[in-house]
Structure 1
Amino acid sequence: MKCHFRHPMLIALLCCSSVFAADKIKIGFISSLSGSGGALGVDIRDGFQLALTNGNNKLGGLPVELSVLDDQMNPDIGRQASERLIKRDHVDVMTGMVFSNVLLPLLPAILESDTVYISTNTGPADYAGEKCNKNFFVISWQNEDLPGAMGKYVTQQNEQNVFLIGANYPGGRESIAGFKRHYKGKIADEVYVKLGQLDFSAELAQARVSKADSVFFFLPGAMGSAFLKQMDSGGLNKTMRIYAPGFSGDQDSIKAVGEPMLGMYNASQWASDLDNAENAKFVRAFEKQYGRIPTMYAAQGYDAALLLDGAVRDVKGHIEDKTAFRKALRAANFKSVRGDFKFNRNHYPIHNIHMRVVERDKQGRISNRTVGMIAKDYSDPYAVNCKMD
């Protein structure tokens, strides 16, 4: 760049302004904070906010300007919120969305605006392979990760005939696909229901007729709670063993369902009892701040903030240098509450996946206990098709 100003102060200000770091980082947080999946968005928000609170509302030394908006599980409302954050507020980073059917219609415009998006929950297959994008990072999991681990585990348990049921949206279909990728037994039946459905009488009748010895399900939020309650009231949980990914066996479901979930196995990249210092700190702080046991959703929100904290620090606050900022995010220089973590070439996690079982803890509370590791350094099957270096 050539400058033609004679005054040295103008030259310093106009030509060399890049030496000054940003004075704040603006984050747009859109999530499902109401509706049947609202508990999930609230937990992600609370985990993210807890990390900000612990850091005196700073990330990497920069003050945070956080805008929180509710997409109400509706992509049209989400699109309005996204456009406001990008065009009016000029946010540096966006994050928070829960459901893939909300995120996917919005993501092209977000990425085309050269805005970094950090997914705190859904990890769609669409952007894990050939469409991987320099501005898209997934801190949680690829949608098949946890169901795939469950497929492996259910096979190890010698389950011969499994009934599958999932919500009919991208995340639900990919979850069932992940289970099927690793399960080696027979599938008694495969059923998909409308996202948000709460009455499963017809599907449970199908399950009974199928003669399955077990059921694997992915029904997010209140859907899963309703399904488990109806399994219990109909007595099917006495004749069919129940398996789920962690997002259908977490604390939000346990709170709603209670004792009928005792003994249920579920896979997750995180658990409240994972033995590492960062996790212990997170669990203590979350219970103190909010008066409840954190979920994996809260852990994912917390990790997203820690990821940003490390990246902003690594670029010394120069988030306007987007190439350097993306490189710092890719490096993932932070201590995850799940333990070992790194990004694959597609910006999706390489991480360990653990088996959990719902039991009563020493305080008599119903919660998950880690049984063991089911997959070490797990990476999704789509990353090989990503051409990013």
Structure 2
Amino acid sequence: MIIAVLCRNFVRAAGALLLAATVGTAAYAQGGPIKIGLLVPLTGPLATPGIDMVDGFKLFWEQVNHQAAGRKVEYVIADTTCNPDQAITQARRLVHQEKVHLMIGPLCGHEGPAVAQVSKETGVPLVMDTAGADNVTKWDRTPTVVRTAVSASQIGHPFGDYLYKELGARNVTFIGQDYTWGHEVTLGAVETYKQAGGKVAKIIWNPIGTKDYGPTVASITPESDAVVAVVVGADRVRLFEAWFSFGMDKKYKIYGAYWMHQDVLPQMDDRAIGMIGNSLHYAAGLDTPENKAFVDAFAKKHKRLPSWFSESAYTASLWTRTAIEQIKGNVEDRTAFLAAMRGATVKAPRGTLKLDDYDNPIQNVYITRIQKIKHPVVGEVLTNVPFKTYENVSQFWTWTPEEFLKRGPYKR
């Protein structure tokens, strides 16, 4: 019943919004350049991942000579600073002043719903990447929004299962980042861990930009047999340094559910080798022909390995171009473009992808370990290498959509 009502409401909203979108297409000159707006944080606490997104995005369009279905592709990059208010302002600028045909982004989870609102207001399609707020593809869907990255709890659920069943943890302290993405990754892991029989000793929440992680590691419950980290931005290095500086490595085992990404590993050192770095839908160390080609091309151009942010923006562009080719370049027909996005199957560096009925990818999730490898371009480098794969993971995990939606969002 819940799903039936949601779907009926969604279809009604879709009809209204897409009618408005179609009416508005006269403002764009069909046959001219296709204009894409990319929303990323270029300044602020998540600037490093933002730059990685830009580099992955640009790499893809360079590889296809900035063309799609015979039309030139241009782009405008807007700095959101990882702030929802700034993200709305920049999205509206892209639509109203830059006259973009579609938007890709934003990066931060709490920016996602904000930019989705602009898409809803204007009818301009949003290919959401990498923002992972669960709400966007569950309880508060927008007909003009599809997500090509991941729903936050989608990577948390497998890790909670792995934590109990294979790592054998029974009493865990979780360190989570105190914002939308951090809540949903952490609490997704907590949910499946508790369902398996695990006990949560404590959850320690830290705001983005926490300067000192000494008090955090000092407050870990002494009886904990493991610690799980979900941290973003510059906090990743600060937690890493505090962990070893305060001798926590001699007291506890720590695992990264979302921690040691490729963009931050150059700021870490060999102490990370052997540690579990992430539960994630992409890792640079993934051994497939598609990923090897992507990693080598990225490394050749940027002299570093790509993070999941780079791959995600690359794949969002691949998915977008696939849809544009399908509709023979007619991006002015927003209804057709969104239908093509929803119907496409994409062979990305991270694997084969297709959207579920709620506009979120079904995809593998990889548990990774930090290893030092010798890459032919960048030499010796730390990277994430998958050693456990959860195949075809749904954003609803093993629950039915109806069961998951009835429970409501994860909230701290």
Considering the TM-score relative to the shorter chain, is it more than 0.5?
A: yes
- Structure 1 counterpart SS, 2:38: strand
Deviating above 4 A after TM superposition, structure 1's stretches of 4 or more consecutive aligned residues are none
1:5-49 CA-partner distances (Å, limit 9, x unpaired): xxxxxxxxxxxx9xx953221111111112221111111111011
Secondary structure of the 1:251 match is: coil
Equivalent residue for 1:14?
none
* Partner residue, 2:391: 376
Q: Secondary structure at the match of 2:324?
A: helix
Partner of 1:288: 300
The reply on whether 1:56 has 2:69 as its aligned counterpart is no
- CA RMSD of superposed structures (Å): 1.9
- Residue 286 of structure 2 aligns with an amino acid whose one-letter code is L
Residue 109 (structure 1) shift: 2.3
Alignment of 1:228-243 (within 5 A): 228-243=240-255
Q: 1:90 to 1:21 in 2, by over 3 A?
A: closer
8 Å CA contact retained: 1:44, 1:120: no
Gaps in structure 2 of 5+ consecutive residues: 1-25, 406-412
Once the 2 structures are TM-superposed, how far is the Cα of residue 77 of structure 1 from its aligned partner?
A: 2.3
Which one of 185, 188, 199 corresponds to residue 201 of structure 2? 188
Alignment of 1:88-237 (within 5 A): 88-156=97-165, 157-183=167-193, 184=196, 185-207=198-220, 209-237=221-249
2:215, 2:284 → 1: CA distance? Answer: 35
Larger radius of gyration, structure 1 or 2? 1
Deviation by residue 1:122-153 (Cα, 9 ceiling, x = unmatched): 22121222322222111111101112111111
- Structure 1 length normalisation: TM-score? 0.89
CA distance in 2, matches of 1:47, 1:228: 26
Map Cα deviations across residues 75-97 of structure 1 (whole Å, 9 max, x no partner). 23222211111111221111131
Displacement of 1:309 in angstroms is 1.0
Can you list the C-alpha shifts for 1:345-383, whole angstroms capped at 9, x where unaligned? 11111011112100111453221122131x211111298
Following superposition, the deviation at residue 104 of structure 1 comes to 2.3
Q: Residues 169-188 of structure 1, C-alpha deviation per residue, up to 9 Å, x if partnerless? A: 11111111110121131111
Instruction: Return the offset for 1:105.
Output: 2.7
2:81 to 72, 77, 80: 72
Could you tell me how far apart the structure 1 residues matched to 2:392 and 2:69 are? 28
Letter of the 1:378 counterpart? V
Residue 380 of structure 2 corresponds to residue 364 of structure 1? yes
What is the aligned partner in structure 1 of residue 270 from structure 2?
259
Structure 1 unaligned blocks of 5 or more: 1-16
Q: Distance in 2 between matches of 1:130 and 1:149?
A: 21
Tell me the TM-score normalized by structure 2. Answer: 0.84
Mapped to 2, the partners of 1:56 and 1:112 lie a distance apart of 32
From the superposition, tell whether residues 114 and 262 of structure 1 become closer, same or farther in structure 2 (CA, over 3 Å): same
Secondary structure of 1:217's match? Answer: strand
**1:331 is aligned to 2:346:** no
Aligned residues: 365
Instruction: Indicate the percent of aligned positions where both proteins have the same amino acid.
Output: 26
CA distance in 1, matches of 2:71, 2:250: 54
What is the deviation of 1:60? 3.8
